Structure 1
Amino acid sequence: MESEINKEVDIAIIGGGLAGCTAAIALAKSYNVVLVDQTDSPPERIGECLAPAARRILKQLDLLEGLEKTRLDSEQSLHLKHIGTQSYWGTEQAYVVDHLRNPDGFGWHLDRQAFEIYLRETALQRGVNCFWPAKLQSAHFENHRWQLSATANDKVSNNLLYRFKAKFVIDATGRQSQFARKIGVGREQYDKLISCWLTLPNQEANKMSTISASEFGWWYSAPLPHNRRVLALQTDPDLISRNTLKNVDQFIQLAQSNQQMARLIQRNCAATNFHQIVSANSTRLNQIAGQQWVALGDAAMSFDPLSSQGMFNAMAAAVQLTELIMERDSTGSLAPQKLKDIQISYTQQLDQIWAHYMHHKKTYYRQEMRWKDADFWKRRH
């Protein structure tokens, strides 16, 4: 028999990743917040580098001490120090950006999955009503409230149905933008970039991230916790054969054709774990915010990983949205007119961010002219 749980809340956040959890933690002091995600545990992801500027956000939300205490055992930290990046872009000479003099200190090479679990656990501790695994089924607006339904996405719950009435909805479901799609908002794709990645043993003394351009795209590699290293190729799906992208040996051989990647790959790749191919293209919703709802993080707009700021942008956007809500809704009532003001201001903010991003993306890709006649680069020049 199907059973139901009904809740009236101030804010419903759909999506329990970086953006969703950060927003939930930031808003929990002032509002009754519900957080819904379709997975019972965060999945593995390629994005593991957190910029030094994130230290300010972690301090503001009282998350920094907990992050730095997280350890594998009494000796080894779960997250590595990120000292900087070396890039081979437009030249064979390395261009190095280090964090030695960064006022925020060093960044982190994260165990991304462990970090997201930490954020989920913190959200629970801060009083956020969390429901997972639960998949959003429907959304409609009625009597100044969003009526949401979600079904428990596991066998134990026996068709449990969640119904939420929310004054405000935040879509933080990543590129899928599940809530926005439910209410008919489309998404525009500006390119077809994909990222194909694997992890392998790391025996390199160099702890910097590495970016290296090639004829058919660009490579990225960085150390990870647990003595591992990520190796990723960003390309367009029609430029590399599908077999190469799905076969470990062929993919390693392709990586070895790049001088910088060849230096990083150990001859013994027996412990190589091939993960998946994921979308890495620039996309954005046709409508960033609407009647008593907004999209946040990748759900609003997704950036080319070349920006190297995906995780920081997700957390910063969540904090900025929270500050905007608190500023415009000083009484904590989330009245419709206040929410209309938030919608307008938030849309203006994100339009400016998008214009800034697109300009810098074009400028940066045009700095690489060694393969100006190759399809990958012509599409971006």
Structure 2
Amino acid sequence: MDAPLDYDVVVIGGGAAGTAAALALSRYTRLRVALVERRLFEDFRAGESVSASLLSLLDYLGVPRAALAGAQLPTYSHAAAWGSGALVMRETIFSSQGNTLQLDRRRYDTILLDQAARAGVALYRPAEVVQLAHGEAWRLQLLVGGKALDLSARYLVDCSGKSALVVKKRGRPVHTEDGLVALYGYYDLGAPTFLPQQTLVETTEHGWYYVTPLPGDKVAVAFITDTDILKRLALNEADNWRAQGLATPHVGRIMARLPAPAAMRHYAIHSRVASLPDSENWTAAGDAAVCFDPISSMGIGQAVSAGIHAARVAEATLLGDTSMARQYNRSLFDNFETYLHMRQGYYAAEQRWPDAPFWQRRSKRQTR
């Protein structure tokens, strides 16, 4: 058997958090870094909306802004019918953070992976982790192009998304707050979009809709609800999906002009936070560590920031300092607690369906 390829840090997962962690380690340390990603990003990917403040984080990671050309689209206003049927507009020009950016996640994530490789990160993609053994050094067996490949790592960063590969492997406690899901319809207009460059949010009895234009004359329509409600309404069926959308005053006017969706995708987006170790040779970032309701707008930007912090934790731990890991882990729970209070405020603003299960469940915090 061939000797394993040795690295100081292996990052599992090449999404927003994983590429940030790998880039930070490569740019600011002399550690040997590898990144393992199982997909080629050929499918649609959710998490398209982000504040323009993301750009300063990408500057820190050494990603040229020109590299993202074509992968992002600015939106200049937000429209929301939340708490009443009236549509309220907010211009982003008056925001201290500037315009919101809508991302083509397939292109965006691929660009960041390419930037990581250019920065010296060893990139294994598509690669499946088939075996994972914890010890003084982690041992990983990958399946790359049908062939087994062994790696070793002094430290792991779990950025494997909601699958939380290492979190589960190590049996870490995870607190889950809700059963939220998002059902997306992706539409390819094939011509310049008729939509203004703005996002739209609209509540219904069973949840809320989110509509946004995307780069390349595409549109995403998402319905955010709970798993049991999604099943009861059978929204995975195209006719039910369209009928439910057409029944809304504002989203319905848009859906009436859309073609058949190019794809429908179902994503679990449960609010949850993992308890991470203070003194083991691994940590987690992104959805593997903490996941937020999209109404909070704590998605990609939060993941990139967490990836950068996880990189600092990895370097400090390898130097024998576990204090940064303790601070990072505490910050995850503090941020999650702040988020829950903020989320409760958002949902409390909608009082039109007090007896509907979706809104009733969010009328007060669950007890832990």
Please report the TM-score for the alignment, with normalisation by the length of structure 1. 0.87
Verify: 1:226 aligned to 2:216, yes or no. Answer: yes
**Residue 342 of structure 1 corresponds to which residue in structure 2?**
324
**Residue 249 of structure 2 corresponds to which residue in structure 1?**
259
**Residue 356 of structure 2 corresponds to which residue in structure 1?**
374
Verify: 1:195 aligned to 2:185, yes or no. Answer: no
RMSD (Å) for aligned C-alpha atoms: 2.2
**Residue 321 of structure 1 corresponds to which residue in structure 2?**
310
**Residue segments in structure 1 that go unaligned for 5+ positions in a row:** 71-76
Deviation at 1:241, TM superposition (A): 4.0
Deviation at 1:18, TM superposition (A): 1.0
Off by >4 Å, runs of 4+ in structure 1: 323-326
Mapping of residues 227-376 of structure 1, within 5 Å: 227-241=217-231, 244-267=234-257, 269-270=259-260, 272-287=261-276, 290-323=279-312, 328=316, 334-335=318-319, 337-338=320-321, 340-376=322-358
Question: Residues 248 and 274 of structure 1 are in contact (CA less than 8 Å); yes or no, is this contact kept in structure 2?
Answer: no
Q: Say which of 162, 166, 175 aligns to 1:175.
A: 162
Distance in 2 (CA, whole Å) between partners of 1:5 and 1:102 is 54
Distance in 2 (CA, whole Å) between partners of 1:10 and 1:196 is 39
**Residue 38 of structure 1 corresponds to which residue in structure 2?**
38
Deviations 1:18-48 (A, max 9, x none): 1001110111031211111222446421211
Question: Residues 195 and 213 of structure 2 are in contact (CA less than 8 Å); yes or no, is this contact kept in structure 1?
Answer: no
Distance in 2 (CA, whole Å) between partners of 1:82 and 1:309 is 17
Deviation at 1:150, TM superposition (A): 2.2
Distance in 2 (CA, whole Å) between partners of 1:288 and 1:149 is 20
Deviation at 1:66, TM superposition (A): 3.2
Distance in 2 (CA, whole Å) between partners of 1:140 and 1:238 is 36
Where 1:380 maps in the other structure, the secondary structure is: coil
Question: Residues 181 and 266 of structure 2 are in contact (CA less than 8 Å); yes or no, is this contact kept in structure 1?
Answer: yes
Deviation at 1:342, TM superposition (A): 2.2
**Residue 73 of structure 1 corresponds to which residue in structure 2?**
none
Question: Residues 130 and 143 of structure 2 are in contact (CA less than 8 Å); yes or no, is this contact kept in structure 1?
Answer: no
Where 2:108 maps in the other structure, the secondary structure is: helix
**Residue segments in structure 2 that go unaligned for 5+ positions in a row:** 364-368
Question: Residues 219 and 232 of structure 1 are in contact (CA less than 8 Å); yes or no, is this contact kept in structure 2?
Answer: yes
Distance in 2 (CA, whole Å) between partners of 1:354 and 1:261 is 30
Distance in 2 (CA, whole Å) between partners of 1:290 and 1:371 is 47
Percent identity, aligned pairs only?
Answer: 25
Q: Say which of 93, 98, 121 aligns to 1:128.
A: 121
Question: Residues 201 and 210 of structure 2 are in contact (CA less than 8 Å); yes or no, is this contact kept in structure 1?
Answer: yes
Q: Say which of 9, 12, 15 aligns to 1:14.
A: 12
Distance in 2 (CA, whole Å) between partners of 1:16 and 1:359 is 30
Question: Residues 51 and 98 of structure 2 are in contact (CA less than 8 Å); yes or no, is this contact kept in structure 1?
Answer: no
